[in-house]
Structure 1
Amino acid sequence: MIDDIKTLVLCESPSEDHDAVARSAEVVAGVGRRLLDAEPERLVTDGCTHLRWRFGDGPPRVLLLGHHDTVWPLGSLRTHPFEVRDGVLRGPGCFDMKAGVVMALHAVAALPDRTGVSILITGDEEIGSPLSRPLIEEEARSCDAVFVLEASADGGALKTRRKGVSRYWIEVEGRAAHAGLEPEKGVNAGIEVAHQILAVAALADPDRGTTVVPTALTAGTTTNTVPATASVAVDARVWDAAEQDRVDRAVRSLRPVLAGSRIHIAGGINRPPLDGKASSDLFKLAVSLSPDPLTEAAVGGASDGNFTAGLGVPTLDGLGAVGGGAHADHEHVLVAELPRRTALLIALTKTVLAQGSSSATTNTPGESGAGQR
């Protein structure tokens, strides 16, 4: 497994670089071909390459879900080389989530009967899965369980709740003028965007765990010109769908403050919340199958498991590597946990397959799938 993780890490795959993602997909396909003796489907959506293995003739019943893109730019290996030292594996993207991809492939390779299993490895998760979401939802609809190979929470906890994510871009149009000679003839887009920043920040509700954070900000062109344009990105995260709708309505109802300015709002709800009801029964099953104590966690980050849970399909997340430092310089994987977590994934998959088909095929968004109550 360490050798296979190294193979994946050494092929850098930043999400925005489709050529790099395509090269990574071929590397993942090669590892999977060796382990599974099966060629994956290459699913290319608007230039982004995803991989899918399906076993059996019928619709999938268990989906192992992961991604092979990372947040690390090309050249990161020069400053963050792959290494294994004192039981700790390091390298860009190892924790989030190339180790999880390898775990999924090894787990399915160990199954005595793979019928009903699907593996979907996408290439754009780190940027919100704009191109792979339809593939994910299509693959999950018939399933009795989705196991997400994202990295664990702190201490190896499985992720049984995730916040929903909304992303917005607020663009402001003002009017340029000379900042020294006649600023009164301009409409300052920088001041207008400042008003909008304060307005969206006020939508946060700490008591409900709702965060609404203005992030990337731009304004103006030169130091002696009244800014004619400005923009700000907004990241909103919530625990429940009603709160997500409240924030969405409020952002879309924003209006300009300065006379003569205009605002344009793009974006919207990206991922629905992953509610604890979608994970509860699968977490109990994991606890019953694990020889080691398991804990659960609710986290602010989202994953593709939010999509599958939003369909009403039972979903358990955080089954991948144990370690830490996702997206950070200290990203790492604890080597000793790799075989234990993979054994748990094998046991979960075998157990769900042995239980027989549920009514998951009738799930619709907002409904609970079989096994959730």
Structure 2
Amino acid sequence: MTHQLLAWAESVLPDLLADLEAVVRVESPSADHDAVARSADVVAEVGERRLGFAPERIVVDGSTHLRWHLGSPEPDAPRVLLLAHHDTVWPIGSLETHPFSIQDGVIRGPGCFDMLTGLVMAVHAAAHLGHLSDAAVTLLVTGDEELGSHSSRALIEQEAEGCVAALVLEASGDGGALKIGRKGVSHYRVDITGRAAHAGLEPEKGVNATVELAHQVGVVVGFADASEGTSVTPTVAHGGTTPNTVPASASFVVDVRALTASEQERVDAAFRSLVPVTGARIAVHGGINRPPLEVSAAEALWRRAQAVADDLGLELPEAIVVGGASDGNFTAGIGVPTLDGLGAVGGGAHADTEHVMVADIPARTALLVGLMRELLGR
């Protein structure tokens, strides 16, 4: 059976690559809702052709998401969630400078690695399961993952509830490593209100928001804890209006990553406790965006994936924990076993070097099918 599965995956590779080309050739920058809607049209066509029926089209706050329910509708039937997204970070016009191509076994094109190859793999894998009379699969393809999944989070958590597993088709780590941990993400904006005054004539009458900003940046950097894997990184800062005016306002943005929910909560409480030192006023906005995908949510699934890989004669590298987040953070956050990085092998996500290795696609697709069969008791 395992040899047949690998042979099947090899046989469908031309179709899979044709589907991938169709999807990559429709640009889908997350913030452009019209572009994402056009991308959803193409993904829906690909899915309908392979799965035999059209998806539900769900538009939330302008973002277009697609959902296929396959198999038994019974609530007690074992169900697996396949999780993908069709939005990318690449702006309209990127195909002119980064056209889709396959040369010397390497695929290139906007979003091919993150994560359109994984999306197309999921479609073909779900189709290969065939009729499911006593089990179910949900394929959910979201349209705003690269922006933080604000419109799709509730949908993701709703579909994950009660699943035996969530399998995330984000790209793999180096060499094809699966991802068993992802840091949680928090975003903050600290707004500072001071008082303007002439910087030359009477600076003492002002309250300098930029000076307060400098102090608070130093404070929040201290919230980091390298021993716990917690990073606190100020990113964008603004302050002042003209060179000869004491700044009446300033602000800065902070990116926080943490391996555990307890660390996220500690840092969040610290932000809420900031105290001004210059007489300025401070307002903190934002908070926890994605909970961490803790290793405990993935270890058992990782072992099962290893066993499936062994049966297929495949060698998986050691699984990894990464700083970047995905929609798998949400499924793990509600207690659903989650395994990430099941998609393409390649590299260069969000960069000019983005690419996918063709030779690895059949084995990865076979692994996905084998793991779903294992999880669904088939």
Structure 1-normalised TM-score?
0.92
1:146 aligns with 2:134: no
1:49 aligns with 2:49: no
Instruction: Report the AA paired with residue 20 of structure 1.
Output: A
**Residue deviations 1:236-291 (CA, integer Å, cap 9, x gap):** 111111111111100111121211x1111111111111111211111111111112
For 1:77 and 1:181, locate their aligned partners in 2 and report how far apart those are by CA, in whole Å.
Answer: 55
Partner residue of 1:331?
A: 354
Equivalent in 36, 51, 56 of residue 36 of structure 1 = 51
Partner residue of 1:77?
A: 95
For 1:352 and 1:172, locate their aligned partners in 2 and report how far apart those are by CA, in whole Å.
Answer: 52
Q: CA deviation at 1:37?
A: 1.2
For 1:136 and 1:257, locate their aligned partners in 2 and report how far apart those are by CA, in whole Å.
Answer: 42
1:23 aligns with 2:46: no
Q: CA deviation at 1:353?
A: 1.2
Q: CA deviation at 1:79?
A: 2.1
The 1:285–1:221 alpha-carbon spacing in structure 2 relative to 1, beyond 3 Å, is same
Secondary structure of the corresponding residue to residue 98 of structure 1: helix
Q: CA deviation at 1:220?
A: 2.1
Partner residue of 1:364?
A: none
1:236 aligns with 2:236: no
For 1:110 and 1:305, locate their aligned partners in 2 and report how far apart those are by CA, in whole Å.
Answer: 23
Partner residue of 1:288?
A: 307
Instruction: Report the AA paired with residue 25 of structure 1.
Output: A
Instruction: Report the AA paired with residue 36 of structure 1.
Output: L
Q: CA deviation at 1:179?
A: 2.8
Partner residue of 1:310?
A: 333
Q: CA deviation at 1:46?
A: 1.1
Q: CA deviation at 1:67?
A: 0.8
Partner residue of 1:344?
A: 367
Secondary structure of the corresponding residue to residue 73 of structure 1: coil
1:112 aligns with 2:135: no
Partner residue of 2:82?
A: 64
**Residue deviations 1:212-253 (CA, integer Å, cap 9, x gap):** 000111222233332222111111111111111111100111
Partner residue of 2:239?
A: 219
Secondary structure of the corresponding residue to residue 376 of structure 2: helix
**Residue deviations 1:301-321 (CA, integer Å, cap 9, x gap):** 111111111111111100001
Secondary structure of the corresponding residue to residue 55 of structure 1: strand
Equivalent in 224, 229, 248 of residue 204 of structure 1 = 224
Of stretches 179-188 and 340-349 in structure 1, the one that deviates more from structure 2 is: 179-188
Q: How does 1:170-209 map to 2 (within 5 A)?
A: 170-209=190-229
Instruction: Report the AA paired with residue 335 of structure 1.
Output: V
Q: CA deviation at 1:202?
A: 0.8
For 1:39 and 1:265, locate their aligned partners in 2 and report how far apart those are by CA, in whole Å.
Answer: 44
Q: Percent of counterpart pairs with the same letter? A: 62
Equivalent in 254, 258, 268 of residue 287 of structure 2 = 268
Of stretches 315-324 and 266-275 in structure 1, the one that deviates more from structure 2 is: 266-275
For 2:282 and 2:96, locate their aligned partners in 1 and report how far apart those are by CA, in whole Å.
Answer: 42
Partner residue of 2:185?
A: 165
For 1:28 and 1:256, locate their aligned partners in 2 and report how far apart those are by CA, in whole Å.
Answer: 51
Instruction: Report the AA paired with residue 296 of structure 2.
Output: K
Instruction: Report the AA paired with residue 263 of structure 1.
Output: I
For 2:183 and 2:229, locate their aligned partners in 1 and report how far apart those are by CA, in whole Å.
Answer: 9
For 1:186 and 1:158, locate their aligned partners in 2 and report how far apart those are by CA, in whole Å.
Answer: 55
The 1:177–1:6 alpha-carbon spacing in structure 2 relative to 1, beyond 3 Å, is farther
Secondary structure of the corresponding residue to residue 48 of structure 2: helix
Partner residue of 1:362?
A: none
Aligned length: 354
For 1:336 and 1:104, locate their aligned partners in 2 and report how far apart those are by CA, in whole Å.
Answer: 17
For 2:327 and 2:298, locate their aligned partners in 1 and report how far apart those are by CA, in whole Å.
Answer: 14
Instruction: Report the AA paired with residue 119 of structure 2.
Output: V
Q: 5+ unaligned residues in a row in structure 2: which ranges?
A: 1-15
For 2:245 and 2:50, locate their aligned partners in 1 and report how far apart those are by CA, in whole Å.
Answer: 61
Instruction: Report the AA paired with residue 352 of structure 1.
Output: L
For 2:364 and 2:242, locate their aligned partners in 1 and report how far apart those are by CA, in whole Å.
Answer: 54
Q: CA deviation at 1:58?
A: 2.7
Structure 2-normalised TM-score?
0.91
Secondary structure of the corresponding residue to residue 207 of structure 1: helix
Of stretches 156-165 and 216-225 in structure 1, the one that deviates more from structure 2 is: 216-225
For 2:271 and 2:285, locate their aligned partners in 1 and report how far apart those are by CA, in whole Å.
Answer: 10
